[in-house]
A and B are shown apart, each in its own frame.
Chain A
Amino acid sequence: MLVGSQQKLQDDIRALVERHGRTRDALLPILQDLQAAQSCVPDFAMQVVADELGLHPAEVYGVVSFYAFLDHRPRGRFVMRLCRTISCELARTAPVARQLENELGIAFGETTRDGRFTLEWAACLGLCDQGPALLVNDRVYTKVTPDRVHAIVEDCRKVFGAHAAQPSAPSAPVHPAAHPQPALAAAKG
């Protein structure tokens, strides 16, 4: 990472520590804000957070690796989480999953090369009466069918269109998203 962006990240983290406090209680809120802003908790950030809160970096890594919604590897700008728990499965998740993979050209657990989309499985999303349920960042899609998948992905793509000139603040991802790839192929990655 460039020194300048390290400095910025350090300043951002200091600001978060100011807001949430300098005790271990504040760790999750700080990590969650970082995750939201950076699409991940960058490696360097884990060390800075550890330093600020008087923890060991390994402890912060232990926490990040515990929670499904935190990750130190860059995730896409949009994280698509498809519920794979029982009620949704009964409502046929499998074809939706396949279509998501086809549409994005990636398998579950992967991120598109342009850094826009990450596809993940989720445990029950609390929408079991209207499955298959899909959570895209903080948006919910229910009763998803394979034929709706395209429209959902397009919904997200519009966001990039609107911000094409400038990566949207404050959540400029610090990963390859800066160099958008040409349109995604349907082939699996």
Chain B
Amino acid sequence: MSTVKETHPGTDRAPVSQNPRPLNYPPDSSKAIGGEVSVQIDGQDVKVPIGTSLLEAAKKVGVHIPTLCHHPDLKVAGVCRVCVVEVEGQRTLQAACAYPVTSPLKVHTHTRKVRQARRHIVDLMLSTHCGECYSCKRNNNCELQTLAKEYGVDFYRFGHVKTSRIPKDESSYSVVRDMDKCILCRRCVRTCIDLQEVGVLEAIGRGHETRISTYLDKALAEVVCINCGQCINRCPTGALHANDTSDEVWRAIDDPTKHVVIQTAPSPRAAIGECFGLEPGVPMTGQLNTALKLAGFDKVFDTNFTADLTILEEGTELLVRLHDALVKKQPTALPQFTSCSPGWVKFLEHFYPEYIPNLSSAKSPQQMFGAVIKTWYAQRNGIDPKDIVTVALMPCSAKKFECNRPEMGSSGFKDVDFGLTTREMAQMIQEAGIHLPTLAKSGFDDPFGDATGSGVIFGATGGVMEAALRTVIELVTGLKVEKLFEHANIVPVRGFEGVRMIELPIPQVAAEVPEIIRKHVPSFDFLKGVTLKVAVAHGTANAKRVMEDIRAGGPFSECHFIEFMGCPGGCLGGGGQPIPTSPEIRQARAKAIYAEDAGSAVRKSHENPAVLRLYTEFLTDGPCGHKSHELLHTHYTSRGKQIG
């Protein structure tokens, strides 16, 4: 395998819809025509590229300008107006986030007018904001609260609403909308329409009646929401939050008849430290294991175990499909799509239901784990599965929906009883009086203890693909991945580019097919000389771009395998992760994840001894065998986008 051809058909994110919303002039310095211009901010001079926003310019000289509707992941809106500053020569104040510097300017950021305006704006927001900080999910992590503090709100100058006017929308398993607390910054709208291109949330009505709502004001569960929770991550207030099930989990822990086990996914471990004041990118895996035990979980397992299992199932499925297509010449649904991101799965079910056959039928690692615990683990340990409560710590709000899918109960029980987000877990740990960062590290419990680095990197975009390639390459070619990629790091599939396509020519094939999949694929000869084409997309906007290309018969339709993640950055940027989020924060989390992989003793899924043991002891007919089909695979629902 001498050449690795990389193609980058797109940049970070390009508009997919035929009619992209007009950009409200993003003062994006990378698009500046060139040249620099000098600005004086509060007496300090700074040179910036033409087109830089005043906000960015101020950052350069260390001047803090408050913001609320601004978010680094989103288009500029300029609607909250808390960032106003005085620009000499201008009659009115200007919004720093939306004002591009194109000529030399003198700017003052805290004159009387500016201070009065900011104070008034915060007061106005509070005048319609109905919420009690004590009982709010965002207490101490709320941008509105912070502003009120920074701008010295000492009384409600323009009044305050004390009784709820808008009923909460709790219809969704994943996202709760509490519009009493909404301050109409529209970050969620820009997230859902522009960033994710799902288009569930929009500003409805006008004037003082403007509200954030859905198509015909329907409940979230009735529209095409994919539960990605990206809107939650970008809401500055408690108006959007995840549907919290931690009380139920406490109840299970308190119940002595219940055996409560928890699996933890790699992304929460790389991020939960942020909830305890740590910098992004400090992995907390060992400390978290200790904390969960202290909090009262009976067993703590690593979701990576089933991530490895997923690779074997999904990898085998891919080889079977290739075999069907190339040898048996059967019509086969290719490219195969990954199915571990429930946000992406629901997106496909709504918008591209005709491609459901392309989705791998393998359950996500979360669900596989649940199924294995309530069967093999229960048997092995002599516990009645009805007394087992499985909890999953996930970076994801869509996982809450996933574990409630009616088809997720092949063990005879609900595979996973509760999906908790990173934020909810941090809260539980705090509630238990545990200070996570200072805890001693400990390991995962047997029998799933040893996972591989491949499982860890599932948390980052490209991770599933890298893990799959490590296994498929070794099985198919009989060569060590390290021979082809230094340290087995398949760097071309890494990174934050929105869509990446990689071609891997297969130089030689192994003489023998490993025993455990031989009954599906008797020989690898058919892959000789084949160039494996794979792609990676993260965030549903990018997924949409790839799907449209496939629909149009473009280059992506010739791929064999595509990894899709519903959230920007993959799971590490999931809708259940600590708030705030930004490109820098996601990058730091990715670093933590790749560091954990590099430090793992075993780094390839097919070398995971626990997984191999599962196949010898329990799933004896191997990957994609009868039993695994029953327990580890699932089916999907064609939902369509018509809203009834």
Contacts and interface: CB of A to CB of B under 8 A. Distances in A.
A56 B202 CA distance: 9
B17 A54 contact: yes
Contacts of A54: 17-19
A62 B19 contact: no
B19 A58 contact: no
B193 interface: yes
B202 A62 contact: yes
B327 interface: no
Contact of A58 (B202, B205, B206, B642): B202
A61 B199 contact: no
B491 interface: no
Contact of A61 (B198, B216, B641): B216
A43 B213 CA distance: 15
Nearest to A66: B206
Contact of B205 (A46, A53, A66): A66
Interface in A133-187: none
A58 B215 contact: yes
B96 to A, nearest CB: 27
Given A53-B19, A62-B203, A65-B206, 13 more contacts: A23-B18, A23-B19, A43-B216, A46-B215, A47-B215, A54-B17, A54-B19, A56-B200, A56-B202, A58-B215, A58-B223, A62-B204, A65-B204
Interface size class of A (residues with CB under 8 A): 10 to 19
Among A53, A58, A61, A72, which residue has the most Cβ atoms of chain B within 10 A?
A58
A61 B202 contact: yes
B216 A72 contact: yes
B33 interface: no
A24 B22 CA distance: 10
Interface of B: 17-19, 193, 198-206, 213-216, 223, 641-643
B334 to A, nearest CB: 27
Interface in A44-88: 46-47, 51, 53-59, 61-62, 65-66, 72
Contacts of B643: 47, 57
B199 A59 contact: yes
A58 B643 CA distance: 10
A54 to B, nearest CB: 4
The 8 nearest A-B residue pairs measured at CB? A56-B199, A24-B19, A54-B18, A62-B202, A58-B202, A57-B215, A58-B215, A65-B204
B607 to A, nearest CB: 45
Interface in A10-50: 22-24, 43, 46-47
Among B19, B200, B206, which residue has the most Cβ atoms of chain A within 10 A?
B19
A57 B225 CA distance: 12
* Chief secondary structure at chain B's binding surface: loop
Contact of B202 (A22, A51, A53, A59): A59
Contacts of A55: 17, 19, 199
Given A47-B643, A54-B18, A56-B193, A61 B215 contact: yes
Nearest to B16: A54
Contacts, number: 52
Contacts of A56: 193, 198-200, 202, 215
A70 to B, nearest CB: 11
A94 to B, nearest CB: 23
Contacts of A47: 215, 642-643
A24 B202 CA distance: 16
Contacts of B199: 55-59
A24 B193 CA distance: 15
A22 B19 CA distance: 9
A66 to B, nearest CB: 5
Nearest to A62: B202
Among A24, A55, A57, A66, which residue has the most Cβ atoms of chain B within 10 A?
A57
A58 B641 CA distance: 12
11 contacts: A23-B19, A43-B216, A47-B215, A47-B643, A54-B17, A56-B202, A57-B643, A58-B201, A61-B202, A65-B205, A72-B216
A36 B206 CA distance: 22
Contacts of B198: 56
Given A43-B216, A56-B193, A61 B204 contact: yes
Nearest to A23: B19
Contacts of B215: 46-47, 56-58, 61
Contacts of B641: 51
A59 B205 contact: no
A10 to B, nearest CB: 12
A63 to B, nearest CB: 9
Contacts of A66: 205-206
B560 to A, nearest CB: 29
A55 B202 CA distance: 12
Contacts of B193: 56, 58-59
Nearest to B207: A66
Nearest to A68: B206
A58 B17 contact: no
Contacts of B202: 56, 58-59, 61-62
A57 B199 CA distance: 8
Nearest to A55: B19
A58 B231 CA distance: 15
A58 B217 CA distance: 9
A24 B215 CA distance: 18
A51 B198 CA distance: 13
Contacts of A72: 216
A53 B193 CA distance: 15
A148 B523 CA distance: 92
Contacts of A57: 199, 215, 643
A51 B18 CA distance: 11
A138 B16 CA distance: 40
Nearest to A61: B215
A166 B478 CA distance: 79
A7 to B, nearest CB: 14
Contacts of A62: 202-204
A53 B214 CA distance: 19
Contacts of A22: 18
